[in-house]
Structure 1
Amino acid sequence: MALAAAPAAADEGGVSFWLPGIFGSLAAAPQQPGFSLTSIYYHTTVTAGGSVARAREINAGRLPVTIAGNVEASLTGKADLAIVIPSYTFATPVLGGQATIGLMTVSGRNTTSIDALLNASVLAGPFAASGSRFFNLSETDTGVGDLYPQFFLRWNAGVNNYMTYLTGDIPVGSYDPNSIANLGLGHGAIDGGFGYTYFNPATGREFSAVAGLTYNFKNPDTQYRNGVDFHVDWGASQFVTKQFQIGLVGYLYQQLSCDSGSGDRVGCFESRIMSVGAQVGYIVPMGEIQGYLNLKAYKEFESENRPEGWNVWLTLALSPAAAPPPAATPKRHLALK
Structure 2
Amino acid sequence: MTRHSAARRASPTLPTRCGVTLRRSACGLACAAVLAAHATENGLTTAAAGAEGFLAGALPPAGLYGLVYVNHYSATRFNGGDGQAAIPGFSVKADAVVGRLLYMAQGEVLGGQPGIYGVLPVAKVSLEAAGASGSHTGLGDVEIGPLVAWHHSPQLHTAAALAVVLPTGDYDKTRMVNTGNHITTWRPVFVASYLGATVDASAKITYSINGKNSATDYQSGNYWHADFNLGARVAPQWQLGLQGYLIRQTGDDEQAGAKVADGMRTRVTALGPALRWQANPASPSLEVRWQQESGARWHSQGNALWLKAVMAL
CA contact (8 A) 1:300 1:309 kept: yes
Residues 1:76 and 2:91 aligned together: yes
Q: How does 1:1-337 map to 2 (within 5 A)?
A: 5-6=33-34, 12-49=41-78, 73-115=88-130, 136-158=131-153, 159-200=155-196, 203-262=197-256, 265-285=260-280, 290-319=283-312
CA contact (8 A) 2:79 2:301 kept: no
| Residues 1:45 and 1:156: Cα distance change in structure 2 (over 3 Å) | same
Cα distance per residue 1:176-211 (max 9 Å; x no partner) = 1122211101111011132221002xx221100121
CA contact (8 A) 1:149 1:169 kept: yes
| Residues 1:95 and 1:72: Cα distance change in structure 2 (over 3 Å) | closer
| Residues 1:7 and 1:242: Cα distance change in structure 2 (over 3 Å) | farther
| Residues 1:175 and 1:72: Cα distance change in structure 2 (over 3 Å) | closer
2: distance between equivalents of 1:7 and 1:290?
A: 50
Q: Determine which structure has the larger helix proportion and give its number.
A: 2
CA contact (8 A) 1:243 1:282 kept: yes
Q: Determine which structure has the larger strand proportion and give its number.
A: 1
2: distance between equivalents of 1:216 and 1:295?
A: 30
| Residues 1:254 and 1:244: Cα distance change in structure 2 (over 3 Å) | same
CA contact (8 A) 1:49 1:74 kept: no
Letter in 1 for 2:187: D
Letter in 1 for 2:158: Y
Aligned length: 274
User: What stretches of structure 2 of length at least 5 have no aligned partner?
Assistant: 1-31, 81-85
1: distance between equivalents of 2:283 and 2:138?
A: 31
Could you tell me how far 1:100 is from its partner in structure 2?
2.0
Q: TM-score, normalised by structure 1?
A: 0.76
Instruction: Considering Cα pairs closer than 8 Å and 6+ residues apart, tell me whether 1 or 2 has the greater RCO.
Output: 2
2: distance between equivalents of 1:148 and 1:93?
A: 24
CA contact (8 A) 1:14 1:307 kept: no
Could you tell me how far 1:22 is from its partner in structure 2?
2.3
User: What stretches of structure 1 of length at least 5 have no aligned partner?
Assistant: 52-70, 116-135, 321-337
Letter in 2 for 1:282: W
Could you tell me how far 1:13 is from its partner in structure 2?
5.0
Q: TM-score, normalised by structure 2?
A: 0.81
| Residues 1:317 and 1:72: Cα distance change in structure 2 (over 3 Å) | closer
1: distance between equivalents of 2:234 and 2:227?
A: 23
Q: Percent of pairs identical after alignment? A: 24
Tell which structure's C-alpha radius of gyration is larger.
Answer: 1
| Residues 1:33 and 1:316: Cα distance change in structure 2 (over 3 Å) | same
Could you tell me how far 1:153 is from its partner in structure 2?
1.4
Q: Which residue of 1 aligns with 2:3?
A: none
